[in-house]
Structure 1
Amino acid sequence: MLNLSTQKRLFIMFLVVALIPLLTLGIISYDQSSKVVNGKLSNYNHFAGEKIKTQLDQILEDMYFSAAEIKQYLMDDTSVNLHNEVPRTYEDFKEVDNLQRLLQAHKKSNIRGIYIITSSGYYYGDYDFLMKEFKMQDIWKRTIRSGDSEIGIYQPNHLKDNQVDHVLGLIVPLKFSYGVLNNSYLLIETDIDDLYILMEVLEKDLQSRITIRNELGQALYHSKSEEADLVDDILTKENTNINNWEVEIRVPRDKFYQSSQVILKMVSIGILIAFILALILSYVFSTQFSKRIFKLKMAIDEVSKGIFDTKLLADGQKDEIGKLGGHFNRMVEKIKQLMEEVREKEATKREAEMKAIHYQINPHLLFNTLNTIQWKARMDGNVEIGKMLMHLIKVLEKNLDSTIELIPLKEELQALQHFFAIQEMRYGKNFTFTLKMDEQLEKGLIPRMTLQPMLENIFFHAFEDGEGTISLELSETLSYFRLVLKDNGKGIPQEKLEGLFTRPNEKKRGGVGLYNVRQKFSIHYGTDFHIDMDSVAGEGTTIKITWPKRWVDQDEQGSNKSVNSR
């Protein structure tokens, strides 16, 4: 990749940038669409099975309930007192009529008919019943063989003028010890054509095969299909609550995922078309960009060789590369101007440095002169002036020593003692100063002359005639020192508060001390320090400074590693 030309690298880059989101979007779209479609189809299969199961449960519940009620009624030998199967007397007709009304009263929902068949073959119920044809039904034969209740699905060929194609029949033996109904059978038949219609619709919609099995695993219903059951078919099974019949919906795998295959095909075509477009566009864009970038590269090479008369011809395009060409031309002109300005400034600087040498103050001359004045004051008996000069010399010794930029807090605080001594001689004992610091912090390092400028600012601007209270607190956290300086002076207006630690106006005198404090921290710690200042008019000012922890022993070893908590 590194050995390829710019054009080829741009071409590959554009192509990759176009294809990655395209393929990602295509894969995600196919995956999510397939999940939605397959999920809905699976839910539909489940819903279909649940619907069939629900209808079967309702039908079976009605049939068993009716059978139980009729059987309970007939078990009472006083309820029906038939002396002859075929009514012969008026009383017999009344009993038969009562029995017929009983059977009619228990018809519910889609129950097609309720019959009582005697052991001799005579029946009671609707008069559309053909007993001879019914005895040919498999359900009757099973009942005769087993002697137990039987239930099944069959075509009602035994009904006269029948318009029903399928019924669900339930035969319950009535084993009584009295009357003509002894050892008779109760037959309840329910119209299930609506259930068949529902299953046919589902078979068509789902392209599925539906099978209903009884509790013994015998098939009561199976879809008409030439397809064989396969292991990878998608199965949905539901069981009825009444008889534990199993409703099985089987969908061939290829048909179940047919919609997903269509989605995959459409997504693949879309990706292929987009890939061809991306290929063409990547080639066009990479060619255009590479040509213009090559021209810019040649111009930069000439400038790097010192040929500043080079200029790029405007190509009329206002995109980023066109703007870059314009900026390049202006940069070359600016470089030429700056080179001229630098030559002029260097000449001016050399002249200014030569003049500054003549105005420099020799610190040794200053200290010697102050010492001479101090001894002269002592010889003349002026003790106050002598002490003030002594303290001034100590302060200047610390502040004019630029060989060490970071000093221990102990030395910085010692210099303050001389500063406070001078202020006490000037104002008297009108101010108080309190210091709170653990002894172990004395070896902590701080930029030289950090505290004195802030204290000078308090005496010159916050206090009247040096009257007030100053408190200084030094502490440490896990990785930082923390300084809190408070006074109870006049306070600082909010509009001036934010500008105290910024560069002062060169035309105004003063104000440089606090700016230098910030600059010292910035030089040693970069941006890893914080200065915060808060003031309330008439109540005083608080300055808080935090900076990274460094110690005297580490500084002596030249350690630049981060300092852990002591």
Structure 2
Amino acid sequence: MGEWIRIIDLLQVNHTIESIFTSEYDNETEYFFDVKKAGQVFDDWAYASNMYTYISSLVVVGDNGKVIRYGEDVGRLNVEELLQKDWARKIDQSNGELVWIGIHENYAGIHYRNPYVVSLTKKLDYGGSQALVYISFKSQFFFDKLNTKHDPNNDLFLLDSHNRIVYNRDPSLINQLYENHLNIQSKGYSMITNQSGEKLLAARVTISNTGWSVVETIPYKTLTQGSTMIFKVTTIVFLLSFLVTGFVWFLITSRIVNPIQRLTRTMNRVRGNEQIVRVEIQSNDEIGQLNRNFNYMMERIDRLHQDNLREQAEKNDAEYRALQSQINPHFLYNTLNSIRWMAIIQKADNIREIIEVLGRLLRNTIKMNDTIIPIRVELELLRDYIQIQKLRYNDKFEVEFLFDEEITEYQCIKFILQPIIENAIFHGIEPKEGRGTITIRLFIESEVLWIEIYDNGVGMEQEVLNKLLMANDKKGSIGLINVHERIQRTFGQDYGLFVESECGTHTLVKIKQPVITSIAEGNDD
């Protein structure tokens, strides 16, 4: 029943339908197109729910004289005659409540398909304008809902507020007045005798808010049939079960429980961190097999533990290489993007120069397979990258290098400076008004190599700074996180990136790594 109430609720809240009864139309063409839109709304609803296949007629009549029709029988329905029915004259007294008319003959002129329909009606309030909705749906709805949902030995009647039969498995009884010859209470249960002299248990329940009721009768003999036989069988089964259970329990105690307890004590030793334990139960049954499998499992665990240690070392190496490889496509994308903007902004005047620098940069990057390279080579790659960016940004910034020349012969991880410079340009210098300066300083302090990259750009807020090196945070920098993790995976947690920034003034990124004098030394670390 609730499905039909939801259909009326949809009519109440749909703006397309509401507009038909609240609008003032200058001509019938506008009204025609709005009705077409309403028809599309019904089609959309019908596509989403099979309830609309049961609708015989749906009519909405507004106090502005406008009408919406839907349903397979609505074309043969006379709306003026419909509004003259007794229920239509009384609907004003319903105070806007839903009124179930009940089952009746179809008001449509020709109703050979749906001779009987169930109807309901309600007044809809559209903010000062009102409309009367009338829905009649096929009685087949209750056959499809109820015909397979009750015991075939029982008889079920669905009655409307006028005591007419809305549903029974016998279609010939539909719309017939239900004669209460069974003397059933208005609500409750009764033991009655039908016209054939058969005893029946009858129940009647009233459906709230509709005035409808459900009556079901159950033959008394089906309730008591076989009860004596069930009692005897139950008693025999209980006695046999008791004897069998006692015998089985004896076997379980002597042959299963004790060995299992021994096995359990051995397993508890494993919980006590004993790595190699064995249990000896000499039997060929399932317990013995469980013992042998346990011993095999312990041997496998020991082997797997050793394998896991080896695989973890290989995994760390693979993760390191994967992190390092991420930087190449990231840089290539940004560089090619720079070329594209150069072509647009500079009208291709500097394309040859930037491509030459890019070719040299990519060639040097690809041919170097070592993880650890001299700082001198890293600075050469960085200068090529800076030249590309200075061309792109029309010399918006300058770069200063501060270091002693002998430091360049020490070793560092490949491609750790470019992501930081890229971050300084894109997020520090580019948003800044006027030219900016990036200072790169290298020095050694207490056997630690420090590389500082300072820019006088726009800086960053403390919240962004706190999340900058968090790999699981979307606000983190992919390039900086990559460099930070590669350094820590290579040299340990004491090394990596350290970032300081003040919003509106500067950003300082410090790279900390041990002093490495050769590639072999870096790989050993």
The structure that has the greater radius of gyration is 1
TM-score normalized with structure 1 length: 0.32
| Between structures 1 and 2, the one with greater strand share | 2
